[in-house]
Chains A and B, each alone.
Chain A
Amino acid sequence: MRDVSIIGIGQTKVGEHWEKSLRDLAIESLWAAMADAGVEEADVLYVGNMLGGQFVGQEHLGTLIADFAGLRGTEAFRIEAACCSGAAALRQGYLAVASGLHDIVAVTGVEKITDALGCITAVGLAMAADGDYEASQGLSLVAVHALLMRRYMHEYGATNADFAMFAVNAHRNAVGNPYAMFRRPISKDAFEKARMVADPINLLDSAPVADGAATLVLCPAERAREFNGQPIRVAASAVATDSIALHDRRDLLFLESAYLSAQRAYQQARVSPDDIDVFELHDAFTVMSALSLEACGFAKRGEGFKLAQNGDISLEGPIPICTMGGLKARGNPVGATGVYQVVEVVEQLRGQAGPNQVKGPRLGMAQNIGGSGGTAITHILEAMD
């Protein structure tokens, strides 16, 4: 196996891009990443996407994007793992380079949400849950997470307001990210007054789904210096699964997939949670931030929400999360989100995070979660001297 480096990053602003199609967004980020790396061709293009077929009536995305981006003939296909399709595409890109089969690999995550109506979007997103036994009972993906949050509050004596600082932190960080959807702070008071979507999850517990695309260019570490972009080493790449449905979990309040993929990543990188300087976690809902922090070893069970309250997760804290706004305020372009997370960790490790720069980070972690925890994919990146 070869060491793998990220040599190029590109992203579009996350938002409602009425004037841009799925292919437009993908190409914009792909070309930006290729320019950043200084490459004109790629051996392979992997496209992470969850809902192209459902929302824009388009499958066969690898080929479509390769063709329109000027890469006709290149090996290309789409990778799907619900909300962690983006990280799954990176996982495949990592394997392709590490195995020695390919040298220059482009990984694009893309989602076009706003061509579909809201109630249709909810049906599509609920496909990340068990269709026969969750969605068919009238559960949206929000409702699935609401069941998690209610039980969390019941077991640990937390209240809705105890989760507010996750959203406040994300919005504060998004102000400094030019690619973020909501570049404005929110107050704890606004959080507490937000309307309910699926009780106890309110509008500001939930990350907004929106359009966006992000791309990474990978190459073998031994060739990384040949290219323009400041290379960042992929120190670990790990995937783990659990049941799709909440009712099938061994332990409802423990994200086993997140735990397993994080443990595998720590072992591969030979690090522990204490060594991680930046953590882009999957804050699709505030309760997921708490559960991810617990599963990945940053908090004891039932205490994840306290890290938000005491400021530990801020840019100056011991474990900064959502440093560019997270899913909550950068926005959640579902199948692209996992690639955005890694792009943002690269920005931090390169020292290119602008006003959001964490001081001298060496190791950054990104964890992308599919559905309510059915799949978790963890990557650890390391700054190269």
Chain B
Amino acid sequence: MDMPRHWRLNEQRYNLVGTECPACGAKLFPPRPICPDCNCKEVQPFRFSGQGEVYSYSTVFQAPSGYEEFVPYTVALVRLKEGPLVTAQLTDMDNDEARVGMKVEMVTRKLREYGEDGVIVYGYKFRKPVADYLETEVD
């Protein structure tokens, strides 16, 4: 169910690949076929570092169907080091730790499940930076 739809987004969800505009230098996430700043169509793939800081956040107490298991969870707008904002959940921290300006880094986590026989969707979330943290942690 919904498998191709999620598969098409693998490069964005796992590697934070957006686009870069060769004309004006704008770096964009999510990727777009045309630069919204200068209308250049020769945009190229660009992989973001995953480093950023929290621009805004909210703790969700009433979740849409499919996300109930995470309640309460904190979502955020993260300002990536390279410029754009990305919408994502904060993870590996208490909900009341979130602050505007807090440094965060991208990690891969479970976004949701589609029941016992359905696909499990993974993607980016953001956590407080952990230096020299090499092992993969799964929710």
Interface set of A (CB-CB < 8 Å, partner B): 117-120, 122-123, 126, 130, 132-140, 142-143, 146-148, 150-151, 154, 195-201, 243, 245-248, 252
Contacts and interface: CB of A to CB of B under 8 A. Distances in A.
Interface in B64-123: 64-68, 70, 73, 75-77, 84-89, 100, 111-112, 121, 123
Contact of B75 (A130, A138, A148): A138
B87 A139 contact: yes
B111 A151 contact: no
B111 A247 contact: no
B10 to A, nearest CB: 12
Contacts of A247: 29, 77, 84-87
B58 interface: yes
4 A-B pairs closest in CB distance: A146-B58, A247-B85, A122-B64, A151-B56
Nearest to B30: A133
A305 B119 CA distance: 44
16 contacts: A119-B65, A119-B68, A136-B123, A137-B89, A138-B70, A138-B73, A143-B60, A146-B58, A147-B87, A154-B56, A196-B59, A196-B61, A198-B58, A198-B75, A243-B36, A247-B87
A146 B121 CA distance: 25
A246 B85 CA distance: 9
B88 A122 contact: no
Given A132-B9, A148-B56, A198 B86 contact: no
Given A197-B62, A198-B60, A246 B87 contact: yes
A123 B64 contact: yes
Interface of B: 9, 12, 29-30, 36, 55-68, 70, 73, 75-77, 84-89, 100, 111-112, 121, 123
Given A150-B56, A199-B58, A201-B58, A135 B77 contact: no
Contacts of B77: 147, 151, 246-247, 252
User: Which of B9, B65, B84, B87 counts the most A-chain CB atoms under 10 A from its CB?
Assistant: B87
A130 B56 CA distance: 18
Nearest to A134: B87
Given A133-B30, A247-B77, A147 B9 contact: no
Contacts of B60: 138-140, 142-143, 146, 198
Contact of A132 (B30, B59, B89): B30
A136 B59 CA distance: 16
Given A151-B55, A247-B86, A140 B63 contact: yes
Contacts of A120: 65
A148 B65 CA distance: 22
Given A143-B58, A147-B76, A150-B56, 10 more contacts: A119-B65, A132-B30, A133-B87, A137-B88, A137-B111, A138-B60, A140-B60, A147-B75, A150-B58, A199-B58
